[in-house]
Amino acid sequence: MAMQANADFKTRLQTLLPKLVLSPSLALMLVFVYGFILFSVYLSFTDSRLLPSYGWVGFENYSKLWRLSHWETSLINMAVFASLYITICTFLGLGLAIFLDQKIRAEGMLRTIYLYPMALSFIVTGTAWKWFLDPGIGLENVMQSWGWTSFEFDWIKNRDFAIYTVVLAAVWQTSGFVMAMFLAGLRGIDNEILKAAQMDGASNWNLYRRIIIPQLRPAFLSAFVILSHLAIKTFDLVIALTGGGPGRATELPATFMYSYTFSRNQMGIGAASATIMLMTIAAIMIPYLYAELREKK
């Protein structure tokens, strides 16, 4: 009888263990992610400045935020940056993947070269490009010292063009990764379909346009989701490359939030901007994750 009860306890412990094991991670996540999100959202409705304070001010921070030209600038910059970054990365990644998929001799080596920037910190990337693009010592200086004295390339110091240097460095860093995603997609396509299409007389161009690229839909979707969330989170690269300048020419929401919260002591407005960033990412991620997880069931 005692044996029976013992066995029962053990069995019950076994059924409980999985949940016990999962619970620390769950607790961490609920507090540090979702609890914190709620707290930040709450702060965005308060009069917090240097430190959190709990005076309710309703939507005042949001209306202030939307009147700030600084915020408007960072949103416009984000629009320019994100659209170029996502488009260029996608097309470059797809193009390189298609080219690499043609039984290329040194494929392994080329792939390693395209991908290694992913392993670097944005701070390193920013530093390298910052000095390479610097008109004083970088490309412009080099070209002039090589005898092309009229050569000018001062984008990184130019308010109208600085944002494109951020695009350039960001594309350099992540396009190889997008290439890898598309390459995996290409390798996943059933070869028999391609053979059938060739029997049907499709040219290479049509093969890609009509058969292959449409089948890469999942890869396009993943690339878009990952690139857009990276774009919205871009912070370190701007800090290292331009520091948000010249002026506010490369200010993005992430850097805006950081400076309003930690250097300008406008925590309420900082929290409001962070909330808007979160909602933007959520609008992209939640439908995607929902679809992905449903499929798997």
Partner 1 sequence: MGFLDIDNTTKSYGSTEVLHKVDISVEEGEFLVLVGPSGCGKSTLLNMIAGLEEITSGEIRIKDEVMNGVHPSKRNIAMVFQSYALYPNMTVGKNITFGLEMHGTPKDERDKAMNDVAKLLQIEQLLDRKPGALSGGQRQRVAMGRALVRDPDVFLFDEPLSNLDAKLRVDMRTEIKKLHHKLGTTIVYVTHDQIEAMTLSTRIAVMNGGYVQQLGTPQEIYDTPANIFVATFMGSPAMNVVPAKVSVENGVPMARVALHDGSLTSLPFSQANMAEWDGKEILLGIRPETITDEDAADRKSGNIAHMTNRIVVTEPAGSDTFVTMTMGGRDVIARMRSDANVSPGIDFMFAVNMEKAVAFDPETEVRIAP
Partner 2 sequence: MSVASQDTAIRTGRAVRVLIYLVLVLFSLFYLLPLYVMVVNSVKPLDEITGGGMMNLPQVFTIEPWLKAWSSAQIGVEPTGLSPYFWNSIKMVVPAVAISTVLGALNGYVLTKWRFKYDTILFGLMLFACFIPFQIVLIPMARMLGLMGLAGTTSGLVLVHVVYGIGFTTLYFRNYYAVFPTELIRAAQIDGAGFFQIFWRILLPSSGPIAVVSVIWQFTNIWNDFLFGASFAGADSQPMTVALNNLVQASHGVKEYNVHFAGAILAALPTLLVYIVAGRYFVRGLMAGSVKG
**Residues within the interface to partner 1 (CB under 8 A):** 7-8, 10-11, 14
Q: Which helix (H) or strand (E) holds 17?
A: helix 2-29
Site for partner 2 contains 285 (CB under 8 A) = yes
Task: Report the residue count for the chain.
Answer: 297
Amino acid found at 166: V
For residue 283, what is the enclosing H or E element? helix 267-296
- C-alpha distances (whole Å) from 256 to each of 165, 168, 230, 234, 238 are 19, 21, 16, 11, 11
The token pair at 88 is: 């260029």
Q: What angle, 0 to 180 degrees and rounded to 10, lies between the N-to-C axes of helices 107-115 and 162-187?
A: 140
Q: Which is nearer to partner 1, 9 or 32 (CB)?
A: 9
At closest approach, how far in Å is the CB of 158 from partner 2?
Answer: 20
* From candidates 29, 76, 79, 283, binder to partner 2 by CB under 8 A: 29
**Closest CB 14 distance from partner 1, rounded Å:** 7
Residue 11 C-beta: closest distance to partner 1, Å: 4
CB of 111 to partner 2, least distance (A): 6
The yes or no reply on residue 148 touching partner 2 (CB under 8 A) is: no
Q: Could you write out the three-class secondary structure of 200-217?
A: CCCCHHHHHHHHHHHHCH
Contact call for residue 4 and partner 2 (CB under 8 A) = no
Binding footprint of partner 2, residue count (CB under 8 A): 115
User: Please, what is the minimum distance in Å from the beta carbon of residue 53 to partner 1?
Assistant: 48
Question: Site residues for partner 2, window 80-119 (CB under 8 A)?
Answer: 92, 95-96, 99-104, 107-108, 110-119
